[in-house]
């Protein structure tokens, strides 16, 4: 959470969309280095088209859990990284944001993040020249915001997609500005009117409305005054939630709470209006937030809870609410996530200059806390991922007389009348892309164009292959 001065460095904008008319060469470019030209001419497409992570289909809320389009329960665990501009500003001693995301999602380096949280800080959006205190609301305008997104955030969001992981785009204020300030309302509204539609079509993106709301008269934990503060927060932030949902209606939205997003326990009885809402929790070594089962586990029985910040400083070099040990706080966190296995999390933070730190300046694990997080993420790498386990619902299959003749076991997982699941395992995956490629010129496929024409142009072609690939 500690900040330093940096120098700016621009990042390539990498959020271009594929063209609607695509041939074999364009498809090879789109699937990336993991698919070789030789493989395309034979019987296989290569190693998951170069994506090291899982597919990232759009997630949705179902009661107090989150599911993928096939009905599989999904629980995400990952890491916070530093503000993308901050990461890019001092590349002589920090990793640029794309490299940082690659590290965080690289099992060969010991990291298995399934989701990356990007804290977009107003101070960094304003592009400071050395002053990193909290700016007053209105310190940046829409032009400045769009420049920041293009130079730093677009490439980070795209890097998450390329790595096959989810991405949380977070409006990240965390200090003294009261959430009821009129100028703040204008800034947050403008922020989400600009940001929400920008990534609305990206199925791997989630939005976090406001990192850590601070309000006057917030009251102590468990007090009547605390509940009144939550109600003021709901009255203030509902319109920001509405902006996001109007601009990106399918995206999951994570909502914080007063007192640095620690009043998660009040969410079930005071829910915001909207679809696909989740509720944030932030906790470090705070004694008054123990046991974690009461502060965050109890609300998770009724609403989806995403611990978008958690951790402790195992070096003992921070403030008292951060300092902790593996034997005490570490064990508490691991027991909590084991008991409440549907609670999502992003540990704070993969950095050597924001605390609590996990790594040194070479980005080697340097603290007991960092080792614990590595082990924790590894233990969750194959747990409740999209497409794993019993989906809870059967693929949609029309009557026998109204289905493709080839392949005989193909299914229509999303019920749209087009058959994305060619191998009959109940979901669209990379083996279906291979099957599609190998069968494009077959009589069976050409006779049933209507079932495989994903882009609606009347043909089975490479554009459909790209469309299928992008759905995975």
Tens of pLDDT, residue by residue over 253-292, are 999 999 999 999 999 999 999 999 999 999 999 999 999 9
Lowest mean pLDDT among 25-34, 116-125, 308-317: 25-34
Task: Give the per-residue pLDDT at 390.
Answer: 43
* Chain mean pLDDT for the chain: 85
Tens of pLDDT, residue by residue over 91-124, are 888 999 999 999 999 999 999 999 999 999 999 9
Which DSSP string do the residues of 219-251 spell out, in sequence order? --TTSHHHHHHHHHHHHHHHHHHHHHHHHSTTS
Its pTM surpasses 0.85: no
CA distance 188 to 137: 9
Burial of residue 67 (CB within 10 Å: 0-12, 13-18, 19+) is: buried
Tens of pLDDT, residue by residue over 320-348, are 999 999 999 999 999 999 999 999 999 99
Average pLDDT over every residue of 436-443 = 81
CA dihedral (103, 108, 110, 114) in degrees, to 10, reads 60
What residue ranges do the domains of the chain occupy? Answer: 24-50+394-471, 60-379
Higher-scoring residue by pLDDT: 217, 389: 217
Q: Say how many C-beta atoms besides its own lie within 10 A of residue 409's C-beta.
A: 10
**Top-ranked range on mean pLDDT: pick from 210-224, 343-357, 424-438, 452-466:** 343-357
Q: Which residues, other chains included, contact 44 with Cβ-Cβ below 8 Å and sequence gap of 6+?
A: 434
Average pLDDT over every residue of 408-416 = 81
Contact assessment for residue 30 and residue 117, using Cβ atoms and an 8 Å cutoff: no
Of 140, 132, 141, 152, the C-alpha closest to 89 is 152
To the nearest whole percent, how much of the chain has pLDDT over 70? 85
Q: Kindly report the CATH class assigned to 60-379.
A: alpha beta
Higher-scoring residue by pLDDT: 387, 35: 387
């Amino acid at each position: 959470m500690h900040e330093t001065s940096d120098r700016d460095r621009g990042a390539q904008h990498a959020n271009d969309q594929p063209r609607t008319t695509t041939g074999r060469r364009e498809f090879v470019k789109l699937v990336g280095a993991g698919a070789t030209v030789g493989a395309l001419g034979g019987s296989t497409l290569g190693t998951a088209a170069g994506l090291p992570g899982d597919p990232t289909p759009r997630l949705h809320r179902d009661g107090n859990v989150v599911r993928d389009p096939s009905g599989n329960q999904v629980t995400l665990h990952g890491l916070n990284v530093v503000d993308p501009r901050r990461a890019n500003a001092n590349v002589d001693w920090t990793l640029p944001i794309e490299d940082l995301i690659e590290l965080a999602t690289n099992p060969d380096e010991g990291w298995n993040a399934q989701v990356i949280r990007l804290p977009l800080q107003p101070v960094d959006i304003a592009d400071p020249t050395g002053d990193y205190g909290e700016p007053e609301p209105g310190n940046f305008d829409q032009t400045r915001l769009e420049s920041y997104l293009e130079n730093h955030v677009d490439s980070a969001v795209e890097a998450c997609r390329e790595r096959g992981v989810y991405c949380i785009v977070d409006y990240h204020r965390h200090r003294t500005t009261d959430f009821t300030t009129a100028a703040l309302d204008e800034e947050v509204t403008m922020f989400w009117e600009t940001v929400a539609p920008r990534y609305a079509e990206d199925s791997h993106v989630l939005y976090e409305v406001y990192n850590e709301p601070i309000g006057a008269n917030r009251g102590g934990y468990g007090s009547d005054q605390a509940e009144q503060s939550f109600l003021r927060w709901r009255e203030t932030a509902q319109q920001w939630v509405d902006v996001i949902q109007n601009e990106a209606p399918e995206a999951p939205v994570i909502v914080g709470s007063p007192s640095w997003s620690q009043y998660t326990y009040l969410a079930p009885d005071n829910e915001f209006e909207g679809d696909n809402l989740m509720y944030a929790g932030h906790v470090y070594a705070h004694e008054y937030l123990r046991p974690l089962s009461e502060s965050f586990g109890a609300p998770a029985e009724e609403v989806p809870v995403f611990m978008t910040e958690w951790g402790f400083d195992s070096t003992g070099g921070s403030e008292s609410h951060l300092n902790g040990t593996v034997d005490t706080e570490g064990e508490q966190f691991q027991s909590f996530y084991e008991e409440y296995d549907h609670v999502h999390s992003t540990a704070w933070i993969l950095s050597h200059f924001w605390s609590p730190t996990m790594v040194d300046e070479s980005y080697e694990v340097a603290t007991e806390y960092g080792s614990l997080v590595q082990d924790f993420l590894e233990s969750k790498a194959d747990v409740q991922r999209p497409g794993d386990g019993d989906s809870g619902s059967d693929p949609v299959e029309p009557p026998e007389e109204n289905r493709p003749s080839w392949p005989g076991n193909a299914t229509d997982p999303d019920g749209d009348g087009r058959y994305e699941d060619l191998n009959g395992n109940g979901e669209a995956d990379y083996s279906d892309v291979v099957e599609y490629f190998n069968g494009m010129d077959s009589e069976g496929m050409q006779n049933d164009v209507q079932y495989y024409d994903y882009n609606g142009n009347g043909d089975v072609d490479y554009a459909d292959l790209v469309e299928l690939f992008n759905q995975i």
